[in-house]
Every structure is written in structure tokens, then in C-alpha cells.
Amino acid sequence: MSAFLPATGAFDDPEGPALRWTKRFVGLLLLPVSWLMLETLFVLLEADTLAGAYWKSPGFVFFGVGCLVWVMLFYGARCAPMMWLYVAGHELTHALFVLVFRGRVTKVHISADGGHIMTNRNNFIISLSPYFFPFYTAVAIVIWALLEWTVAEVSQPDTVWLSGIIGFTWMFHLTFTLWMIRRDQPDVNQNGRLFSFTIIFIVNVLLICTMLIVASPTATFRGFALSLWENARTLYPRLVESVSELYAMLPF
């Protein structure tokens, strides 16, 4: 992704040392937040997906099948058209978030070998957006909503198929994100790897939790918030207890 940004101060230059060190520090602060988000996801999975038997529902099964189908395609039949689709989604996500931040996109280049956009605005959300925003899942949901709105009186579509499409497209996003982020990505390097990875991890986990809450009949955003608060409140005592137990095991 290419951007042209005027640098007028110590924190205005995305490559400047002041902003880089600030992002490193913020990345360190976000490490415990990443752990808390992961803990809360596990609580959500256990309480509302496994214990609540949501995993037996048709919607969850179709979601899982959609995920599995894409994984089989990704590892068994990955090809240039798939790469082109990924690059297209990647660059269009950049462009979408530029527009969200009231910027201007003057050029979008897409090919199976890579792509870029030309814009007058950039920030860490625009840079990292393709790694946490599942572009094709969003497109699928919008198309489904339009179909429901236009053909609902004729034939009501079965939402289990939407679950399957979401599983397929979301796994497309996840597998390509994990596959590409291990490579030398300018979007990640520009913001620092620690800062970028923590932001990407937190937002992706939050997205998974949101999908579970929306889909599960028992999960709620209030329950998620309470679980997150409880995990945060007890994090320090649990950490101290774990360190004390490890210290007691030392042979001296």
C-alpha cells in the first residue's frame, strides 16, 4: 500500500522514531489485553457453545462445513485466481477504510503477484485493516441482506446457508491472514510487528466473539463484557499465584 502523508511533527512521520517507539510501548501494554481476550473467548466457547449445545445447531454445523471446505481448497488447490481474490480483497479493504477516514483513493492496482493503492491518507487502522476485516464475509452478508429485502415476499432464504457462506469466507480471511502475515508485509513492518500483531490478534478474537454472540441463542454482549471484566480483575492475583507456584518448584 502506498500513501503520501505530510510530516510536520515528531509523531506525524509513520517511519519516525518517536511514533515507532510509542507503538512498541503500546504493543507491550496490549499483550495482557490479548491474553484477556483469548481467555474470554475460551469462556464464551465453553459456556455458550459447548455447554449450551449450540455446536449441535444447524447454523453452527453449516458454519463448520463452510470452514472445512475452504481449508481443503486452500491446502489442496491453492492457485493464482485465489491469490488474485485475496489481493483484491486486501486492497479494496485498504480503500474502504481510506474512505471511512475521509481520504481519497486515486489508484488501485491488483494482480496475483501483489497490489497497492495510491491515497492521500494513512494510519494504522487503514494499514492493518485487511488483517482483521473479513472483506468477503462483509460482502456476503450485505448481498444476503439485499436478497432478503428484495425476495423475502417470494421466498425466504434459509439462514443456515448464510452460516455456511460466512464460515467459508471467514476461513478464507483467516487462512490467508495467517499465511501472509508470516511473510515480509510492508503494512505490518510500517507499524512495528509487536504493535501490529497485538492489534490484529485482539480485533480478530473480538470478531470471533461477536459472531458467536450474534449466532448463539444463549450468548450475550453483557455476558461477554462481564466475563472480560472478571478475567481482567483477577489477572494480577492469578499471575502472582502462578509465579509463586513456579518459584516454589525451583530446586533451591
- pLDDT (tens digit, 0 to 9) for every residue of the chain, 252 residues total? 444 333 333 334 455 677 888 999 999 999 999 999 999 999 888 876 666 677 778 888 999 999 999 999 999 998 999 999 999 999 999 999 999 999 999 999 999 888 889 998 888 999 999 999 999 999 999 998 888 777 755 566 678 899 999 999 999 999 999 998 888 788 888 888 999 999 999 999 999 999 888 888 888 899 899 999 999 999 988 888 877 877 777 776
Find the DSSP H helices in 45-158.
Answer: 58-76, 80-100, 124-132, 135-151
Sheet holding 2-3, edge to edge: 2-3, 114-119, 105-111
Other residues' Cβ atoms within 10 Å of the Cβ of residue 33:
16
CB 184 within 8 A of CB 155: no
CB 5 within 8 A of CB 122: yes
Report CA 188 to chain centroid distance, whole Å. Answer: 14
9: DSSP letter: S
Distance CA 218, CA 99 (A): 36
| Inter-helix orientation angle 135-151/80-100, to 10° | 80
- List, as one string, the DSSP characters of 127-147: HHHHHH--HHHHHHHHHHHHH
Domain ranges of the chain: 57-87+134-228
The partner residues of 115 in beta bridges, in order of sequence, read 110
C-alpha dihedral (133, 136, 140, 146), degrees to nearest 10 = 80
Q: pLDDT value at position 165? A: 95
Place of cell 483469548: 38
Distance CA 221, CA 213 (A): 7
118: DSSP letter: E
Q: pLDDT value at position 86? A: 95
CB 46 within 8 A of CB 53: no
Amino acid identity, position 218: T
Taking alpha carbons only, the member of 193, 175, 188, 184 closest to residue 66 is 175
pTM of the model: 0.84
